[in-house]
Chains A and B, each alone.
Chain A
Amino acid sequence: MADGRKGTYPVAETVAPVVAEYARRLPGCLTAPAAVDSIPWRRSDMDVNREVLLDLHYRMLRIRLFEEEAGKLSEAGRIPGALHLYVGEEAVAAGVMAHLTDADQLTSTHRGHGHLVAKGGDFKKMYAELFGRSTGYCKGKGGSMHIADVDLGMLGANGIVGGGPPIAIGAAFANKYRGTRNVTVCFFGDGASNEGTFHEAANMAALYRLPVVFVCENNGFGEFTPQAKHQAIRDVADRATSYGMPGLIVDGMDAVAVYESAGEAIERARRGEGPTLLEAKTYRFFDHVGVRGMGVSYRADEEVLEWRKRDPLLSFEQKLVETGVTDQGSINALRERVLFEINEAITFAQESPFPDESQLLEDVYAVSGGVR
């Protein structure tokens, strides 16, 4: 990415005077736009054991195929409502979730399918939910934006940007209250990092030394607005210092790098040393909502193609083959197997009944202890 940040963020020129003024007033706050390769993101040399590499690959592959098929169904008009797809960001979910048990929790975002897939979500229940069927995770009452599996510790995708952080610290509070070693991971985006809820939750988490890891999936856009137009900083991790917690920046297109950094942060939380803010630099291959992603008004195709060269799944597969961890034939076979599973799940979903009208008023209140 020779032209660096300018190429990555086509609007940088228009905000350059603002950035310059900000830098003049607060020297050292902002650095000049740098070439992406010169930014000291944490990267890996794939120096982890084979089981971990295959685990990361499997989680990423499952997310990618789940999302691509969901995108096709949505474009074909077969899934109602809006989908926010995770394609391009798979390394983040995979690298983090590889450290978590079913007893660890996470709060997700509107772009939440990948988190649930990586946490071990059931394809059948997931597709059934996207199709609005009674066999879905939420019995068809939540859909894509509220997909959740409380038993797996997945405390919900969330339709409100910044909705997750306060809930995450609550779950972390419960873990600490009960004296467990469980951690809660709070996924949020660069956009949500401007919400008051994030700041309130980060402050409280650090104050109480809660076992929570804030994972910022910085995909460069808050919905359709580029990061340079929604915040004057480049690195969300810079904010960590102001709450009294460590901030790490990691290459979010590199599953091993995420795995290693997330591992440090999660272990720190388990040891009772409090929260960490981990910022993963990543990219959304598709649009904020739906699939398209290229030939759009808010970003240049060249930018998308640059990031696609660093595709977290394909580049990882290439490295796995190059280093002899696995071979292309095995990867192809695995891909076929996952696709078979997906097709089975889609069939299951489509053959499942819609929720009956009698379900409309169910689940508004818990009956136990309640009056109606």
Chain B
Amino acid sequence: MTTAEAPAAREIPYVSAVNEAIRQLMEADPDVFIAGEDVAGYGGVFGVSRGLLGEFGERRVVDTPISESAIVGLGVGAAAAGLRPIIDIMFMDFMGVCMDEVVNQMAKMRYMFGGKARLPLTLHTMAGGGMNMAAQHSQCLEAWFCHIPGLKVVMPSGAYEAKGLMVAAVRDDNPVIVVNNKLSLGMKAHVPEELYEIPLGKANIVRPGTNFTIVATGRMVHESVRAAEMLTADGLDVEVIDPRTLQPFDTETCVESVRKTHRALVAHEAVRFGGIGAEFAAQIQEEAFDYLDAPVGRVGAPFAPVPFSPALEKHYIPTADTIAAEVRRLLGKQG
């Protein structure tokens, strides 16, 4: 990690980090192109591809019809034919429209063909609530894709991770789904100007601690760090781990932490039931059962679609408060 570099280190927002990664990847490799709804003329509805059309032209920055299956299929066929596509699905919720392409074609082609196909395809999408966009524009559906052999899934928590994981995803010879977070797009962090890679499958210890482990994904990493700070008043020294890659999951780093802290909680923005946190918790208890002093806790959204009204949505998405409360509950303390 380079988070503790010199004060002169450049800080840019998350969205600019993704944009810069794509630009530099396209400069470095003529086989890289980006296609998706409104990625060219408009620059992406979140600004991820802003300015790319002017720099690379219509051949490599491709506006598509609103046809998610054909957009993903375009990426699958182009990747199988040797290109290195970045395919943008505007909102993760829209993945429902192209599930066959993702689950039956993109994920399985290599295996079904006995290893003879190579699919260096990056599927970039935006997840997460908190913007009053209701049930079809706010979901975190990463667990669906972590369940499918053949796919890799990354979930950057901040600007540094967003660039480094995007670079790793595009350079990987497998289909990688990059799940960025809408609410984090303006969040600034130090991001090196050069192309750098965060290796897939490697977790990051964001905040070292000694007597409690929180494994959190995406934006919940920051909420967990805040929770950890709140919990110092309870005499807790919480370690926060950001897996960064959800599939493959870095079980080892998390288990190593739990062997030290003896207590753990997983936190994500997605619905708790059947969320990826359930798998993380299962892996931790399988590998570190004898070290655990309490059940592995889980924090996630309640089992309901994402509500529209700000009055409801603020109770839906987990926060530092809900995470801290769950930690206290696990320790037998009233929150």
A positions within 8 Å CB-CB of B: 105, 107, 136-142, 146, 148-151, 155-156, 158-160, 163, 165-175, 177, 184, 196-197, 200-201, 203-204, 207-208, 362-366, 368-372
Pair B111/A160 contact, Cβ less than 8 Å: no
Pair B173/A156 contact, Cβ less than 8 Å: no
Contacts of A148 in B (CB 8 A): 112-113, 116-117
Pair A204/B64 contact, Cβ less than 8 Å: yes
Q: Which of A140, A151, A156, A171 contacts B81 (CB 8 A)?
A: A171
Q: Which of B72, B100, B114, B201 contacts A363 (CB 8 A)?
A: B114
Pair B74/A163 contact, Cβ less than 8 Å: no
Cα of A370 to Cα of B168 in the assembled complex, Å: 9
How distant is B216 from chain A, measured CB to nearest CB, in Å?
Answer: 21
B65 contacts the other chain (Cβ, under 8 Å)?
yes
Cα of A174 to Cα of B78 in the assembled complex, Å: 5
B positions within 8 Å CB-CB of A: 33, 59, 62, 64-65, 67-70, 72-83, 85, 100-101, 104-105, 109-120, 149-150, 152, 171-174, 199-202, 245, 248
Q: Which of B65, B79, B199, B200 contacts A170 (CB 8 A)?
A: B79
Cα of A229 to Cα of B62 in the assembled complex, Å: 39
Which 5 A-B residue pairings sit nearest by Cβ, starting from the closest?
A166-B73, A170-B77, A363-B115, A139-B114, A200-B70
Q: A150-B80, A171-B77, A177-B83 are in contact. Are A371 and B65 (CB under 8 A)?
A: no
Q: A170-B77, A170-B78, A371-B200 are in contact. Are A138 and B110 (CB under 8 A)?
A: no
Cα of A237 to Cα of B160 in the assembled complex, Å: 51
Pair B248/A372 contact, Cβ less than 8 Å: yes
* 21 A-B residue pairings within 8 Å (CB atoms): A137-B113, A137-B116, A148-B112, A150-B113, A165-B70, A166-B105, A167-B105, A169-B70, A170-B81, A173-B78, A174-B81, A177-B83, A197-B69, A197-B70, A200-B70, A203-B70, A204-B74, A365-B152, A370-B200, A371-B200, A371-B202
Q: A139-B114, A142-B113, A365-B150 are in contact. Are A371 and B73 (CB under 8 A)?
A: no
Pair B104/A156 contact, Cβ less than 8 Å: no
Pair B65/A200 contact, Cβ less than 8 Å: yes
Q: Which of A105, A163, A369 contacts B105 (CB 8 A)?
A: A163
Cα of A299 to Cα of B65 in the assembled complex, Å: 40
Contacts of B114 in A (CB 8 A): 136-142, 363
Pair B70/A370 contact, Cβ less than 8 Å: no
Contacts of B172 in A (CB 8 A): 366, 369-370
Q: Which of B64, B80, B109, B171 contacts A171 (CB 8 A)?
A: B80
- The total of interchain contacts (Cβ-Cβ below 8 angstroms) comes to 165
Contacts of B120 in A (CB 8 A): 369
Cα of A165 to Cα of B64 in the assembled complex, Å: 16
Contacts of A151 in B (CB 8 A): 116
Residue of A nearest to B109 (CB): A156
Contacts of A140 in B (CB 8 A): 114
How distant is A362 from chain B, measured CB to nearest CB, in Å?
Answer: 7
Residue of A nearest to B202 (CB): A371
How distant is A116 from chain B, measured CB to nearest CB, in Å?
Answer: 12
Pair A200/B69 contact, Cβ less than 8 Å: yes
Pair B112/A170 contact, Cβ less than 8 Å: no
How distant is A223 from chain B, measured CB to nearest CB, in Å?
Answer: 17
Q: Which of B75, B104, B199, B245 contacts A163 (CB 8 A)?
A: B104
Cα of A362 to Cα of B116 in the assembled complex, Å: 12
Q: A155-B80, A166-B70, A171-B78 are in contact. Are A160 and B200 (CB under 8 A)?
A: no
Pair A204/B104 contact, Cβ less than 8 Å: no
Pair B174/A156 contact, Cβ less than 8 Å: no
Contacts of A172 in B (CB 8 A): 77
Contacts of B79 in A (CB 8 A): 170
Cα of A149 to Cα of B82 in the assembled complex, Å: 15
Residue of B nearest to A355 (CB): B114
Contacts of B201 in A (CB 8 A): 371-372
Q: A369-B120, A371-B201 are in contact. Are A174 and B113 (CB under 8 A)?
A: no
Residue of A nearest to B64 (CB): A204
Q: Which of A137, A158, A170 contacts B74 (CB 8 A)?
A: A170
How distant is A154 from chain B, measured CB to nearest CB, in Å?
Answer: 10
Contacts of B81 in A (CB 8 A): 105, 170-171, 174-175
Cα of A67 to Cα of B152 in the assembled complex, Å: 38
Pair B173/A166 contact, Cβ less than 8 Å: no
Residue of A nearest to B85 (CB): A170
Contacts of A137 in B (CB 8 A): 113-114, 116
Cα of A366 to Cα of B77 in the assembled complex, Å: 17
